[in-house]
Structure 1
Amino acid sequence: MRVLLTGWPSFVDGEATAGDVLSLRSVRAALDAAGIDSDTAWSPEFRPGALRLEEADPARYSDVVFVCGPAHGTQVRWLHEWFPDCRRTAAGVTVIDPADPAVTGFHRVIPRDEPGSARPDLAWHADTERTPVIGVALAPGQREYGGQRRHEEVHAALEAWLNTLDCACLPVDTRLDTKDWRNCATPDQFASLVSRLDALVTTRLHGLVFGLRAGVPVLAVDPVAGGGKVSAQARALGWPAVVGAEAAVEPGALDRWWSWCLSGRGRAAADRRPPESAVLGELVSGLRGGR
């Protein structure tokens, strides 16, 4: 007995949602516990190099299990054509039309939302591991820096590097907007958002400031050649995890400081009170002296 696990994340033109993938993990764990061998087919768009559905040899499997999502459409019907001699089961699926050949082609269907007997989704049963939640705050063009701007190159390098990390990346924007719920409307809201992060990656001065104010380690990347306001602010705050524009585009340049930010030393360095502002004292003193 050998089972091929499939789902919408198996189709080239399908979709991989967190619920789909976690449901597949749940079923795989249950089969492992029962001593049943299994493979999982993945779309090459989602997991390049993994077993592709089109490459799975039907003669190798006794069973095909389709997990999660709606059981309907041409992709699901294709499973019945590609694996005609396998026992086919749909588990934890939504059945929209019981007469759909995509549904009737299964030997057994275990729906999650059958009228009168709804079942918990299979993702409910799976184990997960906590990964770091990091904010990513990128600066806009900042044309005022003229020929020193390296924003496009730096951001391209950052985005490629972020794709290699095992963490949940959350885009955060210091720009406030009272008419769009996707943005914070007040600095208090933004500060509250940042305080819930494990770390912050930013090319913005205020990304650095808000992160350290909240005791959150910040990997600051200066997108200005030779150093601009991000580097200057890091010096003012005594924060060492700064990578210059020239270094940021080099392979491996970000990894050292990233590891440090997530280490106990990095967290301890970020967990400190903000310094007193010399600017405010100078401002008030100057205003009083001008009377």
Structure 2
Amino acid sequence: MRVLLTGWASFLHGEATAGDVLSLRAAGAALTGAGIDHDVVWSPGFRPGARHLPDASPGDYTHVVFACGPAHGPQVRALHERYAACRRIAVGVSVVDPEDPAVTGFHRVFARDDGVTPDLSLAASVSATPVLGVILAPHQPEYGGAGRHGEVHDALTGWLAGLDCARVPLDTRLAHEDWQRCATPDQFVSAVSKMDAVVTTRLHGLVLGLKAGVPVLAVDPVAGGGKVTAQGKALGWPVVAAEDAGDTALLGSRLKWCLSRVGNDPFIGKVPSLAGLVDELVGSR
């Protein structure tokens, strides 16, 4: 017996959701635990260096297992055609139309939409990873040619994409009618407080991250140092220069330092004095 383990995350034009991938992980763990030889195939768009469907010759397998997602559509039907000589089993799938050839092509279907069967993803093991709030500054024309926002953000986001972490885009801009943004600063600081660390090129990303008690990897997008660097000095918090944004070793060590401070009171806020403003106003009466 040799099993080919597939799912929607296996198709070139499929979709790799967290639930899909966890379901494949759960199915693979069950097969391994039973001592059943198997291969998993992935979409080249999701995992370019892995085994893909064209690499899995039908003659090499006795069974095909399809895990998670809807048993529906031409890609599932094509799977039946390619592996017609194999016994085909669907597990943890949704069955919208029981008469669909994508469904009837399976020799056995273990559906999840019977109101009784839990989703397969619940059976998969998961590992905790850091959760990073990412706050990027928009183009700031006031800095003229010193602004390096594009190249700094390309370097920073390219580095972030390769990290084993959960990345949460955050925006300091508020909006009352846009559900994707916070409507009040209190909501924004509350959201930031749930992060393990913040990565930002924005002044208020630095300031409000520290205000929320979260360590911040701050990068100044302005060559020679702009307001992020100045605010870092005012707060006694390190800031990476724009010229060093491509130094992945530096970014990695700074992030490691930030994460080492999680839960250890990373910042005791300096409360700015407004006495000068008050004196100015009182004196002008």
Normalised-by-shorter TM-score class:
over 0.9
SS in 2 for 1:254: helix
Deviation at 1:273, TM superposition (A): 2.6
Moved more, 230-239 or 126-135: 126-135
CA distance in structure 2 between the partners assigned to 1:130 and 1:42 by the alignment? 23
1:134 pairs with one of 112, 132, 135: 132
Name the residue aligned to 2:254: 257
Tell whether 2:225 aligns with 1:227.
yes
1:47 aligns with 2:47: yes
- Cα distance in 1 for partners of 2:55, 2:251 equals 38
Question: What is the correspondence of 1:102-251 to structure 2 with a 5 Å cutoff?
Answer: 102-114=102-114, 118-240=116-238, 242-251=239-248
Count of residue correspondences: 285
Q: Deviations over 1:165-208 (max 9, x none)?
A: 11111110000001111110111001100111100000100000
- Note the aligned Cα RMSD (angstroms): 1.5
Aligned counterpart, 2:21 = 21
Instruction: Compute the TM-score of the two structures, normalised by the length of structure 1.
Output: 0.94
Residue 271 of structure 2: aligned partner: 276
Offset, 1:54 = 1.3
Per-residue CA deviations over 1:21-80 (Å, capped at 9, x if unaligned) read 111111111111111122110001001110001111222222110001111111111111
| Matching residue of 1:11 | 11
Q: Which structure 2 residues correspond to residues 69-80 of structure 1 after superposition, within 5 A?
A: 69-80=69-80
After superposition, give the CA deviation of every residue in 1:231-289 in whole Å (9 maximum; x if it has no partner): 0000100012x11111102443311211111114x76362x3311314x1322233334
Q: Describe the SS at the equivalent of 1:268.
A: coil
SS in 1 for 2:133: strand
CA–CA distance in structure 2, aligned partners of residues 251 and 216 of structure 1: 22
Q: Secondary structure at 1:103's aligned position in 2?
A: helix
- Distance (whole Å) between structure 2 residues aligned to residue 182 and residue 16 of structure 1: 23
AA partner of residue 223 (structure 2): A
How far apart in 2 are the matches of 1:68 and 1:239?
Answer: 47
CA contact (8 A) 1:217 1:267 kept: no
* % identical aligned pairs: 62
CA distance in 2, matches of 1:269, 1:147: 38
List runs of 5+ in structure 2 lacking aligned partners.
none
